[in-house]
Structure 1
């Protein structure tokens, strides 16, 4: 086995990340390079990772702050956060076979590790639970949104499942709670051009560009003030359903981004966004079986 075939084991559901040391630099130590290359991570954090044995060279030998720099060497490191807010809501695996997992995600749980979350992410939870290091989400689901998300278990067939979403061969139904309106006649088809907004993590509508997003909206039930809507997107733009309902002046209840960005404390789990990825259906590209899954969660009218 060559050095490039070696890989550190998964620790507490976290897989090792890898970076290659570039040529033509003046770094004396690997520690110096890591501090300069990852400027968002404080030097004291790299010091702690080295001290805790969480940084390795390509031969899986631990690196300390004095290990000499050697160009083109593969360096492995683990991502851990000193302080991470616990997300006190469980996930549920509702289907598993040799190729995929289908998981019912709670509100407030980020799918993959980000700057603020590592252990408190669905992917790391699942890796800890199953021991499957090659798990990878096949599509997106916002931290604020609850419901169904699918994971690939094998890198060899991950692309086949991702292609289903790219080719729009997956039927996705969502439930949402928003203001009731009598202005619209349901079912109502909404189309628009969506693009990156300001702030950068939001989306907006440009009425002058060609349509690139579409949602069919049905009203399942309503009271005097609120309605439970069935949303059937035929495209998969970021925040599509949230932007579409907001454009119709019926923003989803408790949406922290639309119509106005509001920042909540990380530990504030009140008022979850009332959006649920309720159903997934597709023909499995490996088994050729027709698959259909429903979330065990539900949204109720206030």
Structure 2
């Protein structure tokens, strides 16, 4: 396997620099002139600051404002970061050893930098808090889902742990709070075909051979509300949310299913009542058997009265 060339710039605010290859053909006199065309949303003043603050480099080091354009060369740079709404919930550490960092990710915190969420992500926060520049995510959780997330500490170990999830060698259990449907026979297994199109915020169930499977079990109930154990056999986008909606028991706090509802990024009330409860696997590095359990709870179950109206509305 071809090794990736190390970046000539250190991380900034826990983020790696972006990598860009310059086109083989072009008439730009300088790297700055090319970047001005390539990055039209970056103002000239900001672009100049990126050079003067030594945030743009090639393999020889930081570039000057008048650095000549070299066709086919590679440059690295740190972009200006957007202003983000702070997520006011802590990340709890469940386990740490020489290879793994397992945490309880709170609701509303994205796993990795993407789109509007850069510094307010679990990966960047953990890199900075624990001084772990090579930390990487072994898998992902939706921003609105809380619970167990596994991160790999050493770059060399990343593939071994990510392969566990790719090959479905990790036992995963989730908890959800949703209305009770008296006519629903549980436990049951839901199978469907799920399609997530790029650029579309929600996923869809479509006709065709199933590619998603979830075991659903009702653990306990009270006053029309149920606490469910979910065992996904596959890992499709929004699979658990779609499958409970399919059963007529959409998860409380879900802004996507069955009806898409917009929520401001600074609204941290009534989170999705879905929790990654358990992770179990054989460690591919040490051979040790791991079984981790989340220490978080779901608010709709521990504070039922404040969620009763939502439960009643969804059960109709």
Question: Does the 8 A contact of 2:137 with 2:152 survive in 1?
Answer: yes
Q: How does 1:1-302 map to 2 (within 5 A)?
A: 7-39=8-40, 41=42, 45-64=46-65, 66-196=66-196, 200-206=200-206, 208-299=207-298, 300-301=300-301, 302=304
When the two structures are superposed, what TM-score results if normalisation uses the length of structure 1?
0.92
Whole-angstrom CA distance in 2 between matches of 1:198 and 1:73:
30
Mean Cα displacement is larger for which, 5-14 or 44-53? 44-53
Structure 1 distance, partners of 2:198, 2:154, is 37
Work out whether residues 57 and 63 of structure 1, in 8 Å CA contact, stay in contact via their aligned partners in 2.
Answer: no
Q: Any idea what the Cα deviations from partners look like across 1:30-67, whole Å, max 9, x if unmatched? A: 22322433455555543443343322232222443x43
TM-score by length of 2: 0.88
Q: 1:262 to 1:27 in 2, by over 3 A?
A: farther
- 1:87 & 1:296 partners in 2: Cα distance? 19
- Note the alpha carbon deviations across 1:71-103, whole angstroms, 9 max, x for none: 222211124424111111110221111211111
In structure 1, the gaps of 5 or more residues are none
SS in 1 for 2:127: helix
SS at structure 2 position matched to 1:93: strand
Q: CA 1:143 to 1:76, structure 2 compared with 1: closer, same or farther past 3 Å?
A: same
- Give 1:249 shift: 1.6
Greater percentage in helix = 2
Q: Is the 8 A contact 1:58 1:73 kept in 2?
A: no
The structural deviation recorded for 1:241 is 0.3
Between the two proteins, the alignment pairs up a number of residues equal to 297
Listed as ranges, the gaps of 5+ residues in structure 2 are: 305-316
